[in-house]
Amino acid sequence: MAVLSIIGGRSKEWVIFESELRRLGDVLVCTDDGSYGRHGFVTDAAKDALSQGELDIVYAVGPVPMMRAVVNLTKPLGVRTIVSLNPVMVDGTGMCGGCRVEVGNQIKFACVDGPEFDGALVDFDLLMDRLSTYREFEQQALAPCEPGTCKIGLE
């Protein structure tokens, strides 16, 4: 069985694990800016590979919007797609609920039930909504502040 890896990044310096994946099979590299490999998104290369009809299973690892886009390509074709949902995991036991996701109309916790799931069963709308819950607090934590003015107690 042949392995085809399609990897990408915004630009060449964001492309990782290329040499490791080449040990397993063919690798197609994509960069958003065209600085290395094929110009465009990994989904563009995946669409071409899927049109050849030679893919039995797809593993998608990366940003949630990319994994969702891959599932949107593979699902209509009936190609099984496993996604790796690695959201922020606070306690690793499922008790905090930070990594809660709906898969096949069932609540799952990525830290204990996954993080790999059948992409066709993942509720990506709910997942993307949940992942944005703490965005404002994350931005505040990254913003510089003067001593005595930080609102989140990181002084």
Domain regions of the chain by residue span:
4-142
- In this prediction the pTM is 0.82
pLDDT at 154 over 60: no
Taking residues 67-78, report their average pLDDT.
95
Express as a percent the part of the chain with pLDDT over 70.
92
Express as a percent the part of the chain with pLDDT over 90.
66
Q: What are the beta bridge partners of residue 107?
A: 102
pLDDT for the residue 153: 52
What letters, b where the CB count within 10 A reaches 16 and e where it falls short, cover 81-106?
bbbebebebeeeebeeebbbbbbeee
pLDDT digits (tens, 9 = 90+) for 107-127: 999 989 999 999 999 999 999
Sheet with 4-9, strands from edge to edge, namely 4-9, 26-31, 38-39
Q: What is the CATH number of domain 4-142?
A: 3.40.50
Q: Which amino acid is at 97?
A: G
Across the chain, mean pLDDT equals 88
pLDDT for the residue 90: 74
pLDDT category at 88 given cuts 50, 70, 90 is low
